[in-house]
Structure 1
């Protein structure tokens, strides 16, 4: 083990920790429900609003330029404050921060649902992101400290990973259903869930002891500003270009601030992010692979959502339902992985999952305007979902494996941050590839249009333009899918080569021979 990794004595003793809980084993199922309900609510909110955006634009008077901020400001607040949210949980109590985060998220959901102006909506969405950043890392940490290592924790992680992986697809489904009623229900749906979760969490989950040390203010400032600047730069690149001055400026400022953050963390007595956490080989590998896989997955939702609505002509509700098999596939695969993890090393489960996911993503490269959902899309959705489910469960376990008790929330926050930044990075990168190839295809097809002769009718012109638009979209998207498939394949190779933790070690939470770093 590397010198920065916690010693065996520092690692949580699962038997001691669990015996100290006043929540008997029969309440573990309810504890898991509470934690996963909160996680699902937070994750799906990243996509549930997408389908409602045209209605929000019309009702609240958003300009087209400002409409993207309904999504972007949530992403900025969530991604920027994740590390701070995790550290606050380690210092002042994970259940406390979890409940505060859920309560803040729920209150902000009410604010968004009753918003009457553009400004009110954006403030509410920012507060939602902050609430999510407090709750999400502490939700995962509560699983590691509530469930005993081995079979119970592996099953719990399987459900948690399924909720995290399927949340985006469930968001699209719910978004389609609720938008048909009223777009405000995309926010109001969080109220009963949030109130129930906050109420039960106080009674079911056991509070952790307050951690030692003090809050790293310089680290908090540089991490929040750096991550927010980076996320904004990546988001701006997706809507403009990588060479846009604003994009370059924000990416550069974000990089400088994050470098400053790392320097600060190596010098302060009580760092926001102890370098021993990402410095461990197992955890570092898990974080990096989650970033790559997240990059491919979130971009897939973006392009497929547009394809199903504009090319296949599905309604918002039907588009949401078209992603239902993805959610089912993730859940099934996560349960398979949670059972295999007791007998098979995580590298082989995640490696196999990456193989399936790569194949599924590659299958999307063959979509054309003439493709059908049942024969050309559904099989690849199922294969991709199954592969991602096999990836998420082992990596969620290994990302917090062997972490000292006082670091469990911040270790979980790093995992959430990698997924968030990965999704944003993937959307920016693959959107650039998509747009460049789309423009090339439009130019090529336009040049082939017959010149001269009888002028086409309006209907003929519209049909020709629709044909060019559809062909160009599927061509551009196919190139983006290909790059996404390569990214996932690279993640699989990295997993097989560098993830060397054994399944026996996961059964007792890292209290194993010190050979892991």
Structure 2
């Protein structure tokens, strides 16, 4: 019985004082707002008063709330659709540019994931300071512009297309952390918040499947640039819906004692972004030009040095660090490490599974998209399950289960014979892999969101999404290097694919020595 008042109070706190209350006045809302701000200052005495942020009043009408969560979740769906729209018609796009080099083709998805993962960090900070809604809407508009230009790159060449893909990735980098931050500020910890984050995470495999289907239909029956032009139209519509459906997300009240450059941690941002870009560029460019090219390893070394300087600045120099390393617990570091390893495996799995089915099994892009469709249903089940169990089991158990799913999904594909039917290992892998995605993503966001202060919700979302997208891009570069080293100059495609899947493991120890395509087909 003693627990009932606490439950009642928690339910009351979660109510929006402006909803369905005829006695509500602006004076009352202002009083409640200052009360919440005072509670934040007491909970986080090291923060200045002007740094705290209020909760965002999520819509109470169920239909409007559905639209609110749906438009935020579309940022995740569209991000994965943007990855699929080049992986699916990869060889068709390559043919239009007169290139089938594996290193060149891998840049089409890698350039996009590189900027998504790299620019999320400063995007989350800008949202914290100037309003998450503004950055969310601006992200979709930017995304639309570069999607439009990427389609017209068909008249130029692969270099311009890679550049467009990189600039296109800045759009989801602006949208993702600010969408998650809005959710984090709209719902207090509990089952409701868990389900909202799970719904957001469930759109990842759904987005990839939808992007794959539309890209394959347009590439096979029309023209692949239409996938990018339609993407631009959808982004504009989502920007408009965001302006209508998302409530105002007020930034903190900033005084004039600090410069804008200090508040956004300009030095840390430049060092961090530059280091991440150079480090990743070296790994993804090496399969194209080779590690013997001096600029490849020079850029890698410079990237490592810049990242070291970034860490020093964040710890000892920056007053408002872009990544609050000093305030992060070992548990937070463990969560991010799990996410990095798991999603790196996902990036390799999805890219090479698609190539395995299309190139070695000779399946059309549209039929391959249909083969990937079970990931949507499986991902939804995983997200709902995670939403129910995340507050009932230790976070380490959820993360461990997610990593197990990632591992099993990879093993099923790396050992699948080319001539095997789809319903054996490939189908099972499609069912298992989404559990890694949709258990790790909502769990990581929920755990970090609940552990970080309200004014750092953008940083929390940025860290998770940075790790996810950057690890996908980096893993493709590493896998491409492995593939190029062991595929016998392109004469043993299957061995190259399997080498990319297992990466550091020796294929001669895990797989039969008769690893050629002809043996497996027979």
Please report the TM-score for the alignment, with normalisation by the length of structure 2. Answer: 0.77
1:98 is the counterpart of 2:139: no
C-alpha distance in structure 2 between counterparts of 1:429 and 1:7, whole Å: 45
Aligned to 1:268: 318
Distance in 1 between residues matched to 2:100 and 2:360, nearest whole Å: 26
Please say if residues 329 and 389 of structure 1, whose CA atoms lie closer than 8 Å, have aligned partners that are also in contact. no
Q: Which residue of 1 aligns with 2:20?
A: none
Question: Residue 182 of structure 1 aligns with which residue?
Answer: 223
What corresponds to 1:203 in structure 2? Answer: 244
Please state whether the residue corresponding to 1:258 is helix, strand or coil: helix
Give unmatched runs, 5+ long, in structure 2. Answer: 1-39, 48-52, 507-522
8 Å contact from structure 1 (residues 178, 185) kept in 2: yes
Cα distance change on mapping 1:148 and 1:238 into 2, 3 Å: farther
Superimposed CA distance per residue, residues 29-58 of structure 1 (whole angstroms, 9 cap, x where no aligned partner): 211100111221123212312333444455
Is 2:43 the partner of 1:9? Answer: yes
Question: Is structure 2 residue 357 aligned with structure 1 residue 308?
Answer: yes
Cα distance, 1:310 vs structure 2: 1.7
Change over 3 Å in CA distance of 1:424–1:362 after alignment to 2 = same
User: What is the aligned length?
Assistant: 447
Asked whether 1:473 is paired with 2:514, we answer no
| Deviation (angstroms), 1:219 | 1.4
Aligned mate of 1:129, from 166, 169, 173:
169
Task: Say if 1:90 and 1:407, in contact at 8 Å, map to a contact too.
Answer: yes
How big is each residue's C-alpha offset from its partner over 1:147-191, in whole Å with a ceiling of 9 and x where there is no partner?
Answer: 332111111111111223554454333321221222122112323
The 2-side partners of 1:80 and 1:379 are apart by 33
2:86 alignment partner, one of 49, 61, 86? 49
**SS of 1:45 mapped into structure 2:** helix
For 2:127 and 2:265, the matched residues in 1 are separated by 13
CA change 1:113–1:473 in 2 (3 A) is closer
How far 1:243 moved relative to its partner? 5.5
**Aligned twin of 2:16:** none
Equivalent residue in structure 1 for 2:74, among 12, 33, 37: 37
**Other-structure match for 1:253:** 302
Which residue is 2:235 aligned to?
Answer: 194
Checking the alignment, whether the CA contact within 8 Å between 2:113 and 2:470 is kept in structure 1 is no
Tell me which residue corresponds to 2:514.
Answer: none
Q: Is the 8 Å Cα contact of residues 358 and 485 (structure 1) preserved in structure 2?
A: no
Distance in 2 (CA, whole Å) between partners of 1:58 and 1:474 is 21
Question: Residue by residue, what CA displacement relative to the aligned partner does 1:9-30 show, whole Å, maximum 9, x if unpaired?
Answer: 1399xxx955x62632523221
Q: 1:8 to 1:220 in 2, by over 3 A?
A: same
Is the Cα contact below 8 Å between 2:348 and 2:475 reproduced in 1? Answer: yes
C-alpha distance in 2 between matches for 1:382 and 1:22 = 34
The equivalent residue for 2:448 is 399
Matching residue of 1:491: none
Cα deviation for residue 275 of structure 1 reads: 1.8
Note if 1:21 corresponds to 2:57: yes
**Partner Cα separation in structure 1 for residue 160 and residue 488 of structure 2:** 37
Q: Distance in 2 between matches of 1:439 and 1:371?
A: 24
- Conserved? CA contact 2:345–2:406, under 8 Å: no
Measured against aligned partners, the alpha-carbon deviations of 1:387-421 in whole angstroms (never above 9, x if no partner) come to 43333331232233321122111221121111122
For the 8 Å contact 1:367–1:478, the answer to whether it is kept is no
Aligned pair in 2 of structure 1 residues 394, 246: CA closer, same or farther (>3 Å)?
same
Contact 1:312 1:372 in 2 (8 A): no
Partner of 1:140: 180
Go from structure 1 to structure 2 and tell me whether the alpha carbon gap of 1:484 and 1:66 turns closer, same or farther (over 3 Å shift).
closer
